[in-house]
Structure 1
Amino acid sequence: MKKKIARLRRAKSTRSRIRDLGMPRLSVLRTGQHVYAQLFSADGSKVLAAASTTQSDVREGLKSGKNTEAAIKVGRVIAEKAKAAGIDKIAFDRSGYRYHGRIKALADAAREGGLEF
């Protein structure tokens, strides 16, 4: 439980800095089975776009929803949805997770999709 509390503490401090920037926030959640990404408005009141490995269009062609391939696909889909919503500059909220593995793969795929962090 201490590990989760420490991660949430890190996430809280990051979110407070992102709130001061006043730009849309791309938040990532990583579980044992899936990867989720949500794009929030600058004030955090609305979800502008969302993608996850639980969605059938994202899940299509993947062996598993918990590997880096799945994270790359989620990153590409969230970038497409953000572009469709007219957003190209975002702040990346990694939710207290270390920037490696699935989190890094999702971020790199979103950058390749045209989002600026």
Structure 2
Amino acid sequence: MRKSFDGLSALAKQVLEENPLSGALFVFINRRQTQMRCLYFEGDGYCIWAKRLERGRFRVVLDGVAKERLDLNTLKLIIDGIDPHSVRRYRRYSHRESPTDTLSYGA
């Protein structure tokens, strides 16, 4: 995982087919699932957040797809080392999904 601002924004545009200037949070995880980088555009420039695990892996299953939409709660589970597919969520009322609650994710 050597890409930085320009490389990650190019991946968001070309591979994920999303506008990297949209303000969405783009999450990239390396093949070994030990490193994560998050890219977003904040008004006047790009921001990157990164995490490298010293032990273990991020539990992500893409089923052969390069892109998946996640909500912020699911991203929090992944960052905290919890497999989001093993968590049971109980149905609750939701007025509507806010645009800031959805993000694009790619490997």
- TM-score by structure 2 length? 0.36
More helix by share: 1
Of structures 1 and 2, the larger Rg is shown by 2
Q: TM-score when scaled to structure 1?
A: 0.34
Q: Which has the higher strand share?
A: 2
